[in-house]
Chain A
Amino acid sequence: MRGGWIGQQRRRWMRNNAHLYVRQDAHRFAPPDAAHSWRAPDARWDPLGAAERKYSPNQPRVPAGNRDGGQWTTVSSGGGISIAVPAGGVVGADAENSGTFGDFDDAIDSGDLGGLADEDFTFNEVQLAGDIPTGDSPPEIPEERPATSPERTSFLKAAARRVAAGVALHVLTASAPWLLTQAALINSYNDPPKSLEELQQAVATDRPGTDIHHIVEQSAAAGYGFSRDVIDSPENLVRIPRLKHQEINAWYQKPNPDYSWKTPRQYLSGRNWEVRRAVGLEVLRKFGVLKQ
């Protein structure tokens, strides 16, 4: 068993793309006198720069015996909050973009939500540094295909956004070959904005990585009493990238400051077709699907 694992590791590190298996921040784990021999971090993946990072052996840790024993803990905050604050003083600026999120959910207290809270969390002994990506970089995409559909979707979204940020797809697939089977999703996400006519005409031709989208949301419109003929009319249908489709569907469900922190769905409830269509077209422009 162990011999097999060692053999696998040897073969892996003999591959011509072995460098891709070295995590982007490997230099952080090198001994101080050897750090210079490690590749300097790519600014694209390390937007904070080495200067913003820190490792301090004196940073306090949660004492042994606790659930989170050994993890980084606060430099001080009192009052029930404890967040690891980096040397630069910005909350979370030290954190890694590890790609694996810890149980941050357990760290948030419900506070006073005016009746909106549906869970109680504790905010004590929170470790943010290293738990969640706090920087500008997307999380690392795993080499192996994630086991569950939600995980795959998350990392496909991350991959598509990386390509949007200028990373070549083949760079991503070299370290995460499973992405190759989903290249259509990633490529379509990065389609340039198109005219309304182009998006409408594309409905007739199926294309991998895309979906047919209703400009006026179909469920809400049907619930309000608009007929299927109107909802499914060619004027209301466009073909858009599937991952953008998911982002837009999510956008409709989240409190939005431009609608007095109502969700767009709440804002549109009871509104006429024209208002719904105007919002539907604008969100396509916001997400770079429809030309401005």
Chain B
Amino acid sequence: MKRIDLKKMSVPELVERFAALCLGQFQAEFKGEIAKENRFIRQSITVAEELKSRTGDQRNALVPLLDHPNPQVRMMAAQFTLAIAPAAARQALQDLSDRNIYPQAADARGTLWALERGDRKPT
């Protein structure tokens, strides 16, 4: 099987991969496949870390995903852009919370509360 070397991927390719992994989470959640969903989550963390490690912190390339039609993509993009685009990321989380469709609403709400309490310090 072909393995992907994230280091060799361009920023747009990493963003595409990130979105695809979030869509995989969405699918796995629907099907109740928690182990699979967790693999997708961990892979998306790895992609976001790769973007962060690029010169100038390329996580800003995830900001357009805050407007993605899929709620799981928006939620994950918000989690990784809180440090670099806090207003837009918080607004995306607030919208997901107000939308009141789970599980994204619960996750968004949890992050907003953690930020308010100061328990979460985006880096």
Contact = CB atoms under 8 A, between A and B. Distances in A.
Which secondary structure dominates chain A's binding surface?
Answer: loop
Interface stretch (A27-35, A102-110, A212-220): A102-110
A111 B43 contact: yes
Given A111-B4, A126-B20, A251 B103 contact: yes
A132 B43 contact: no
Contacts of A246: 32
Contacts of B46: 111-114
A288 B23 contact: no
Contact of A132 (B4, B27, B64, B67): B27
Contacts of A48: 69
Given A255-B45, A257-B79, A119 B39 contact: yes
B34 A111 contact: no
Interface in B23-40: 23-24, 26-27, 29-32, 34, 36-40
A171 B46 CA distance: 42
A256 interface: yes
A18 interface: no
Interface string A60-98: 000000000000000001111101010000111100000
B111 to A, nearest CB: 6
A254 interface: yes
A154 B30 contact: yes
Contacts of A113: 39, 42-43, 46
Given A104-B24, A150-B32, A254 B37 contact: yes
Contacts of B73: 92, 134
A91 B46 CA distance: 19
Contact of B34 (A77, A135, A254, A288): A254
Contacts of B37: 254
Nearest to A155: B30
A80 B2 contact: yes
A73 B73 CA distance: 21
- The residue among B6, B9, B41, B110 with the most chain A CB atoms within 10 A of its own CB is B110
Contact of B1 (A122, A133, A139, A285): A122
B13 interface: yes
B105 interface: yes
Contacts of B107: 251, 256-257, 286
Contacts of B21: 108
B69 A158 contact: no
A255 B35 CA distance: 11
24 contacts: A77-B12, A81-B17, A81-B20, A90-B69, A92-B69, A109-B4, A111-B4, A120-B3, A128-B23, A132-B24, A134-B23, A134-B69, A150-B31, A158-B30, A244-B102, A246-B32, A250-B32, A250-B103, A251-B103, A258-B119, A282-B110, A283-B106, A283-B110, A286-B109
Interface of B: 1-6, 8-10, 12-13, 15-17, 19-21, 23-24, 26-27, 29-32, 34, 36-43, 45-47, 64, 67-71, 73, 79, 100-103, 105-107, 109-111, 113-114, 119-120
Given A128-B23, A246-B32, A255-B38, 4 more contacts: A116-B42, A118-B39, A120-B3, A164-B102
Complex A-B, nearest 7 residue pairs according to Cβ-Cβ distance, in ascending order: A120-B1, A286-B106, A135-B69, A91-B19, A258-B114, A109-B4, A257-B79
Interface of A: 47-48, 52, 77-81, 83, 85, 90-93, 101, 104-105, 107-114, 116-124, 126, 128, 132-136, 139, 150, 153-154, 157-158, 161, 164-165, 244, 246-247, 250-251, 253-258, 261, 263, 282-283, 285-288
